[in-house]
Amino acid sequence: MRGFGFPGASTARGEADYAVLGAPLDVSTTFRPGARFGPGRVRRFARTFDDYDHRTGTCFSDLAVHDAGDLDAWDDAADYLSFLEGSLSDLHAEGLLPLLLGGEHTVALAGVRAADPDVFVCVDAHLDLRTDYAGNDRSHATVTRHVLDVVDEAVVLGARTGSEAEWERAEEDDVTVVPPEDVNDWEPDLEGEAYLSVDVDGLDPGFAPGTGTMEPFGLAPREVREVVRSVAPRCTAFDVVEVNDRDDGQSATVAGKLLREFVFAHAEG
CA nearest 103: which of 132, 88, 81?
Answer: 81
Task: Report the percent of the chain where pLDDT is more than 90.
Answer: 92
Least confident residue range of 11-15, 26-30, 112-116, 170-174: 26-30
Contact 108, 100 (CB under 8 A): yes
1 three-class SS: coil
* Whether pLDDT at 3 is above 60: no
User: How many of the other CB atoms lie within 10 Å of CB of 228?
Assistant: 25
Note the pTM of the prediction, 2 decimals: 0.96
Contact 118, 189 (CB under 8 A): no
- Band of the pLDDT at 29, cuts 50, 70, 90? confident
Q: What does the pLDDT read at residue 16?
A: 98
Q: What does the pLDDT read at residue 140?
A: 75
C-alpha to C-alpha distance for 219 and 180, rounded to whole angstroms:
6
* Whether pLDDT at 53 is above 90: yes
Contact 117, 192 (CB under 8 A): yes
Q: Tell me the average pLDDT of the chain.
A: 96
Which segments of the chain does DSSP mark as H helices, in order? Answer: 38-45, 77-93, 107-115, 143-147, 164-170, 221-231, 250-268
pLDDT digits 0-9 by tens, 231-249? 999 999 999 999 999 999 9
Q: What does the pLDDT read at residue 166?
A: 97
C-alpha to C-alpha distance for 247 and 179, rounded to whole angstroms:
26
Domains assigned to the chain: 13-268 (3.40.800.10)
Task: Report the percent of the chain where pLDDT is more than 70.
Answer: 98
* Whether pLDDT at 2 is above 70: no
pLDDT digits 0-9 by tens, 92-145? 999 999 999 999 999 999 999 999 999 999 999 999 999 876 776 777 789 999
Least confident residue range of 48-52, 139-143, 169-173, 259-263: 139-143
Eight-state DSSP code of residue 96: P
CA distance readout (Å), 246 to 105, 108, 123, 126, 171: 17, 22, 21, 20, 34
* Whether pLDDT at 1 is above 80: no
Q: What does the pLDDT read at residue 112?
A: 98
127 three-class SS: coil
Of the CA atoms within 13 Å of residue 229, those in its CB half-sphere come to 11
* Whether pLDDT at 189 is above 60: yes
Contacts of 75 (CB under 8 A, 6+ apart): 27
CA distance readout (Å), 147 to 116, 138, 143, 264: 10, 11, 6, 26
pLDDT average, residue stretch 34-45: 98
Helix count and strand count (H, E) for the chain: 7, 10
